[in-house]
């Protein structure tokens, strides 16, 4: 099953629902960064949240960055998600492992740490990114992103995020965001919000449903099927994707200047750069470095 995002409305359009299935891209992140179980769960939840937040942006090619900086041993994580359905991210200490929580679950809250901040940056491509910061609630990611959403948008919302990972890898990952939109008079529909919260409290969670073989439309059907549910037919494919390239590495090296580059040629016999986001290693050899030095000298000569 390909990773995908599904949109729906219910209750006469007053409920807005978005679901993401992100099992494959979470597995790709796990493999690329060699993430521990708890780091996989933390980053997987955050990537699903990033994709859900990005799906709110109206503009094409807009992106959302989530940075979660808690006081736990993971040392913080970063996610970059776009309206185009691409996402990438990393955890600062990917190999940290912790014993399961008292509920027998991966202890994401303790790994991230409950003391700290969630930073959200939305880049709509206008050159002035919008940013917001909220304090962490529990470090479990879902609670923290929900707290941010309710604070920044003032819309009653429910957010479910889940990652199930075992020795074979990621078996299920994704999330669901449900929001109760204000009525035509701008009034909050408290009754509807409460009824929705009641339903959500009764279901077993996102990943158990996915592991039972249910897809997003079925999950939405189960949750909202009798509330005039309308699932939009077009689904969006999601994938782990990083914009890094050898060209970008070469441009970054150029900025270091001639002296530094000559040092790399003489002392290191080349340069090695690793992309934070996707863990790709770029080996730049001496002829390539000499090429950049040549470019710098030509540019300098033409300026004189
Ligand atoms: Zn990369």
Are 206 and 295 found together in one domain?
Answer: no
**Structure confidence at residue 203 (pLDDT):** 84
For residue 88, the CA-to-ligand 1 centroid distance in Å is 8
Could you give the number of structural domains in the chain?
Answer: 2
User: Vertex 67, ends 240 and 174: CA angle to 5°?
Assistant: 45
Match 């300026």 to its residue by tokens. Answer: 303
User: In degrees to the nearest 10, what's the CA dihedral of 148, 150, 154, 160?
Assistant: 120
For residue 242, the CA-to-ligand 1 centroid distance in Å is 5
Are 181 and 225 found together in one domain?
Answer: yes
Give the C-alpha separation, 29 to 88, whole Å: 8
Are 198 and 184 found together in one domain?
Answer: yes
Are 197 and 215 found together in one domain?
Answer: yes
Are 66 and 143 found together in one domain?
Answer: yes
Residue of 1, 42, 5, 44 whose CA lies nearest to 173? 44
For residue 93, the CA-to-ligand 1 centroid distance in Å is 17
For residue 158, the CA-to-ligand 1 centroid distance in Å is 32
Which of 240, 274, 290 finishes a domain?
Answer: 240
Give the C-alpha separation, 47 to 83, whole Å: 13
Match 């969006």 to its residue by tokens. Answer: 236
**Structure confidence at residue 154 (pLDDT):** 83
For residue 28, the CA-to-ligand 1 centroid distance in Å is 13
Q: Give the DSSP letter string of 119-174.
A: EEEEE-SSS--EEEEEE-SSSSSHHHHHHHHHHHH---EEEEEEEEEETTEEEEEE
For residue 279, the CA-to-ligand 1 centroid distance in Å is 6
Phi, psi of 105 (to 5 degrees): -105, 165
Taking the model in full, what pTM does it have?
0.92
For residue 245, the CA-to-ligand 1 centroid distance in Å is 7
CATH of the domain at 9: 3.55.30.10
Are 108 and 256 found together in one domain?
Answer: no
User: Vertex 171, ends 168 and 177: CA angle to 5°?
Assistant: 155
Are 155 and 278 found together in one domain?
Answer: no
For residue 193, the CA-to-ligand 1 centroid distance in Å is 41
Contacts of 239 (CB under 8 A, 6+ apart): 3, 24, 25, 85, 86, 87
**Structure confidence at residue 243 (pLDDT):** 92
CATH of the domain at 297: 3.90.1280.10
Match 């050899």 to its residue by tokens. Answer: 285
For residue 255, the CA-to-ligand 1 centroid distance in Å is 19
**Structure confidence at residue 237 (pLDDT):** 97
For residue 112, the CA-to-ligand 1 centroid distance in Å is 23
**Structure confidence at residue 125 (pLDDT):** 76
Query: Which residues of the chain fall below pLDDT 50?
Result: none
According to DSSP, the residues that pair with 8 across neighbouring strands are: 17, 231
Phi, psi of 204 (to 5 degrees): -80, -5
For residue 179, the CA-to-ligand 1 centroid distance in Å is 33
Are 111 and 164 found together in one domain?
Answer: yes
pLDDT digits (tens, 9 = 90+) for 235-287: 999 999 999 999 999 999 999 999 999 999 999 999 999 999 999 999 999 99
Alpha carbon distances (Å) from 104 to 100, 108, 132, 212: 5, 12, 33, 19
For residue 41, the CA-to-ligand 1 centroid distance in Å is 21
For residue 31, the CA-to-ligand 1 centroid distance in Å is 14
Are 13 and 131 found together in one domain?
Answer: yes
Which of 188, 220, 240 finishes a domain?
Answer: 240
For residue 244, the CA-to-ligand 1 centroid distance in Å is 4
For residue 145, the CA-to-ligand 1 centroid distance in Å is 25
For residue 90, the CA-to-ligand 1 centroid distance in Å is 10
Sequence-distant contacts of 98-105: CB under 8 A, at least 24 apart: 98/38, 98/73
Tell me if residue 303 falls in helix, strand or coil: helix
Are 92 and 61 found together in one domain?
Answer: yes
**Structure confidence at residue 182 (pLDDT):** 84
Domain of 269?
246-303
């Amino acid at each position: 099953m390909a990773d995908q995002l599904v949109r729906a409305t219910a209750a006469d359009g007053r409920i807005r629902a978005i679901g993401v299935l992100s099992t494959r891209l979470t597995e790709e992140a796990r493999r690329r960064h060699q993430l521990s179980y708890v780091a996989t769960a933390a980053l997987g939840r955050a990537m699903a949240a990033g994709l859900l937040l990005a799906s709110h942006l109206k503009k094409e090619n807009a992106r959302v960055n989530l940075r979660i900086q808690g006081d736990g041993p993971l040392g913080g994580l970063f996610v970059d998600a776009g309206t185009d359905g691409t996402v990438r991210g990393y955890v600062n200490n990917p190999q940290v492992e912790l014993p399961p929580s008292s509920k027998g679950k991966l202890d994401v809250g303790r790994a991230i740490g409950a003391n700290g901040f969630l930073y959200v940056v939305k880049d709509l491509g206008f050159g002035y990114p919008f940013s917001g910061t909220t304090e962490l609630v529990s470090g479990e990611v879902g609670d923290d992103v929900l707290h941010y959403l309710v604070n920044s948008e003032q819309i009653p919302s429910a957010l479910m995020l889940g990652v199930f990972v075992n020795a074979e890898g990621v078996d299920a990952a994704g999330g669901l965001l449900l929001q109760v939109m204000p009525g035509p008079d701008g009034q909050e529909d408290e009754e509807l919000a409460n009824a929705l919260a009641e339903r959500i409290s009764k279901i077993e969670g996102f990943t158990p449903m996915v592991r039972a073989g249910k897809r997003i439309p079925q999950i939405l059907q189960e949750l909202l099927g009798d509330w005039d549910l309308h699932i939009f037919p077009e689904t969006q494919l999601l994938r782990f994707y990083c914009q890094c390239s050898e060209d970008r590495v070469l441009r970054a090296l150029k900025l270091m200047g001639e002296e530094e580059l000559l040092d790399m040629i003489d002392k290191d016999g080349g340069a090695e750069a690793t992309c934070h986001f996707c863990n790709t290693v770029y080996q730049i050899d001496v002829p390539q470095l000499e090429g950049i030095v040549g470019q710098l000298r030509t540019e300098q000569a033409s300026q004189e």
